[in-house]
């Protein structure tokens, strides 16, 4: 219902038409104001990313300057290696993200509940996150060799059967890499969730405890719902990481090969190899467009989840 109509049928709150117009104009100006402030940043983003995006789309439809339509997309999608890479990203998404969320939630609650030494424990958990990925990947690459530190420890403990070639066995390599990625990314989630927990009022927790809620009940019914927004944010950030930010891990741990065979190949590495090592930039562009679309879909999901309640009706 329009404002002037409402003014017409409810005389006790009726506002004279010129005043309503002034308010409307004021509201419109107010809604433009943030855009005005953001304009310089938007201009820079458009300049930096806009051109690249347009050029990327253009390249994906051409071959050596010739228009080829969707041929590059067909070539990309029909490539078993690309499909394998995409599947690996999907596997990382489906496996690593839930594990990360559950572990981050559990650890943040434990830190929240632990009174003594929680600052030290928080630092220990957060440390991997601030280590450079190449350093982490090189160190784990050494530790996880067949005769590396981990297997030496396992053998010393009489667990020879567990001493496998963690990165050299095609069946295990991606699982191993997933483990390293989880170890590295976990700290971010713990800090996010812990920060939210520490900023909450203690009242709901105390009330629940007085009502006799146990540990699991308390955190399942009170903590988890209160952390819903932060968890959603963490899920989307990690989902985007698994789809388009794992290049460094794979590149360093597999020496740029995505091997053994194609067992750790991911979409980013596929794009990099295709563009810079195999000199087929048009195919790489098509793969990059597909990856961009996947990332964009995840960002849209995030904004949908993050939309304030009632935003649809306002």
Partner 1 sequence: MKMKWLRGLVLLAVLTLAVAACGGGSSKSTQGGQQNLTFPTEPVQLEMWWWGEQEAAGAKNWVADTIRLYKQKHPNVTIKPVLQTTDGLVPSFKAAAAAKRGPDIQYFWGGIWSLEPAWADQIVPVSDYIPASELKHYLNAGEDTFDGKVWTAPWYTQPSFPVLYRKDVLAKAGVQPPATWTDLLAACDKLNAGGVTPVAGGIKDGWFGGWLYSLLGSQEVQSVQPVLQAVAGQKSFTDPELANWWIKLQEMRDHRCWNKDINSLELYQGQQYWSDGKAAMTMVAGSDMKKFVEQVGVDKVGVMTMPKWGAGPLAGKLGSTSQTLGITSWSKYPQVAADFIKFMHTPERTAAWFKTTGAFPADDRFDKQAITLPQQRQVFDLLLDGAPYLENYIPTELDSQANFAHSQLVLAGSEDAQKAAEATQNVANRIRITKRSIVKNFGAWAEQQS
Q: Which residues bind partner 1 (CB under 8 A)?
A: 63, 75, 79-81, 144-148, 165-171, 254-257, 259-262, 273-274, 276-280, 282-283
Cβ distance to partner 1 smaller for residue 190 or 287: 287
Cβ distance to partner 1 smaller for residue 211 or 279: 279
Q: How many CB atoms are located within 10 Å of the residue 140 CB?
A: 23
Residue 70 to residue 286: CA distance in whole angstroms: 9
Task: Give which of 152, 126, 240, 140 is closest to 180, Cα–Cα.
Answer: 140
CB of 91 to partner 1, least distance (A): 18
CB of 169 to partner 1, least distance (A): 6
Residue 239 to residue 90: CA distance in whole angstroms: 9
CB of 168 to partner 1, least distance (A): 3
Contact 235, 253 (CB under 8 A): no
> CA 280: distance to chain centroid?
28
CB of 121 to partner 1, least distance (A): 33
Cβ distance to partner 1 smaller for residue 167 or 182: 167
Cβ distance to partner 1 smaller for residue 107 or 283: 283
CB of 259 to partner 1, least distance (A): 5
CA-to-CA dists, residue 38 to 35, 183, 243, angstroms: 5, 37, 29
Task: Give which of 3, 2, 33 is closest to 19, Cα–Cα.
Answer: 3
Cβ distance to partner 1 smaller for residue 166 or 234: 166
């Amino acid at each position: 219902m329009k404002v002037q109509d409402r003014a017409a049928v409810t005389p006790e709150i009726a506002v004279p038409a010129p005043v309503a117009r002034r308010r409307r104009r004021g509201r419109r100006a107010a809604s433009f104001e943030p855009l005005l402030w953001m304009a310089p940043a938007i201009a820079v983003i458009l300049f930096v990313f806009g051109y690249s995006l347009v050029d990327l789309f253009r390249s994906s439809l051409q071959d050596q300057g010739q228009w080829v339509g969707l041929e590059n997309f067909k070539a990309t999608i029909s490539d078993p290696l690309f499909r394998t890479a995409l599947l690996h990203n999907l596997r990382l998404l489906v496996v690593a993200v839930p594990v990360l969320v559950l572990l981050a939630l559990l650890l943040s609650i434990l830190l929240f509940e632990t009174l003594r030494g929680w600052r030290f424990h928080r630092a220990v958990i957060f440390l991997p996150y601030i280590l450079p990925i190449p350093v982490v990947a090189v160190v784990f690459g050494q530790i996880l060799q067949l005769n590396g530190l981990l297997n030496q420890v396992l053998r010393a403990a009489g667990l020879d059967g567990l001493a496998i070639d963690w990165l050299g066995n095609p069946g295990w390599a991606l699982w191993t890499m997933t483990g390293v990625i989880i170890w590295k990314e976990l700290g971010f989630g713990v800090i996010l969730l812990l920060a939210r927990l520490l900023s909450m009022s203690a009242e709901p927790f105390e009330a629940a405890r007085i009502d006799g809620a146990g540990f699991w009940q308390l955190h399942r019914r009170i903590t988890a719902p209160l952390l819903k927004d932060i968890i959603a944010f963490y899920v989307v950030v990690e989902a985007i990481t698994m789809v388009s930010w794992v290049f460094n891990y794979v590149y360093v741990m597999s020496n740029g090969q995505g091997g053994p065979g194609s067992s750790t190949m991911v979409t980013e590495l596929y794009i990099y190899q295709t563009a810079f090592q195999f000199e087929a930039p048009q195919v790489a562009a098509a793969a990059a467009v597909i990856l961009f679309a996947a990332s964009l879909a995840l960002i849209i999901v995030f904004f949908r989840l993050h939309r304030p309640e009632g935003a649809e009706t306002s």
